[in-house]
Amino acid sequence: MATHVHPVHIYYEDTDFSGVVYHANYLRYFERAREHILGVQALVDMFKDTGVGFVVYKANLTYKAGAVHGDRLDIETEVTVESAYRAIFHQRALRAEPAHAEHKQGELLVEGELHLACVDAQQKLVPLPKNIVDGIAAFNAG
């Protein structure tokens, strides 16, 4: 299984009053990484042409440490097609470049498992589109 790495820089706006990244922002970082694996234009075209889009129906996140303003993170993603209707994304946020000396490079901050499915314009479950399944297979083949 291939691993995709998506870099994220932590800005002041990403943090809460304590100076640590607000917990919900990791879902945004994970979403951006998934979009780069699947292809931004492929997702735009899929929705425009067929009305089909992805929905997250299950998200399990474990928070281990917090990123801070100035950090650079690597979002690592692995993906499997679990069935004709479900793709599972295993994602990790790691501190790639710490902003502060007391933080460790490579430190695992958050790990998550997100299950995605596709729905049509009427919000009815539909199989994952062939081009998406083929794209995931090509990604995993390297």
Residue positions annotated with a catalytic role: 16
CA angle 75, 108, 111 (to 5 degrees): 65
* Pair 14, 72: CB distance under 8 Å: no
Where helices occur in the chain by DSSP H, the ranges are: 25-38, 40-50, 130-141
**Residue in the structure block whose two tokens are 């042409």:** 49
50 DSSP assignment: H
